[in-house]
Amino acid sequence: MNAIVYTSETGHTARYAALLAEQTGLPAYSLQEAEAKLNRGEPVFYLGWLMAGSTKGYQEAKKAFALQGVACVGMARSPNGFLWSKADKSSRMVDGARIFYLQGGYDGTQLHGLDRAMMKAFEKRAFRKLAEKPDRTPEEEDTLSILRDNGDRVCPENLREILDWMRQEGVSQN
């Protein structure tokens, strides 16, 4: 793997990319930067944020680079999203890349344009539904907290599984 490439809208995914870069010594680039600095087809680890089950930037990154691993960054504690559901259950592979999930957070104030409008509608529906639910699970409580407080769950410990996998793949670690 030659680099960490990411797409981030509210900063959670960018922070995970920076933490991975710090731990591995690999450079981290936004997808736009990577397309200008890296050669087409270079092996990279990609991180993208989840919106409506889709991992933002994944298709573009897949066309430009050889994705070795992909981390989907979402609000929920549990893995979700299209790539996660598409992954082979035993190997957690999709299109030749190992899939991971990281809980990030939510900050609707950082969204722009259509993404902001779509997520505002989701935020209102989800918040109301969860707030009115009398018997919330711990995961639902966490989601409600994230929505209410622009919560942030990014932490280095969440990268343990990715770093272990990278070590097995021979990626150097600082």
Same domain? 99 vs 111: no
Cite the DSSP H helix spans in the chain. 12-24, 31-37, 58-64, 82-86, 113-132, 138-149, 160-168
Same domain? 128 vs 161: no
Q: Which of 77, 117, 69 is nearest to 95 (CA)?
A: 69
Our CA angle for 70, 73, 79, nearest 5°, is 85
Same domain? 68 vs 136: no
* Region for residue 169 given its phi and psi (left: phi exceeds 0; alpha: psi -120 to 50; beta: otherwise): alpha
The reported pLDDT for the residue numbered 27 is 97
CATH number at residue 44: 3.40.50.360
Q: pTM for the whole thing?
A: 0.83
Same domain? 69 vs 94: yes
Same domain? 97 vs 112: no
Same domain? 52 vs 120: no
The reported pLDDT for the residue numbered 35 is 96
pLDDT along the chain (174 residues), means of 10: 94 96 96 97 95 88 96 82 72 86 80 68 72 83 75 91 93 71
Question: Please, is 165 exposed, middle or buried when counting C-beta atoms within 10 Å of its C-beta (0-12, 13-18, 19+)?
Answer: middle
Q: Give phi and psi for 53, each to the nearest 5.
A: 80, -5
Give the separation between CA 150 and CA 107, rounded to whole angstroms.
5
- 54 CB-near residues (< 8 Å, 6+ apart): 81, 82
Same domain? 138 vs 96: no
Q: Give, as one character, the DSSP assignment of residue 106.
A: -
Same domain? 78 vs 52: yes
Cα four-point dihedral sign 160, 74, 47, 93: positive
Q: Which residue range is the domain that position 122 belongs to?
A: 106-151
The reported pLDDT for the residue numbered 116 is 66
The reported pLDDT for the residue numbered 29 is 98
The reported pLDDT for the residue numbered 87 is 74
Same domain? 23 vs 46: yes
The reported pLDDT for the residue numbered 6 is 98
Same domain? 131 vs 61: no
> Number of folded domains in the chain?
2
Same domain? 81 vs 115: no
Same domain? 32 vs 80: yes
The reported pLDDT for the residue numbered 19 is 97
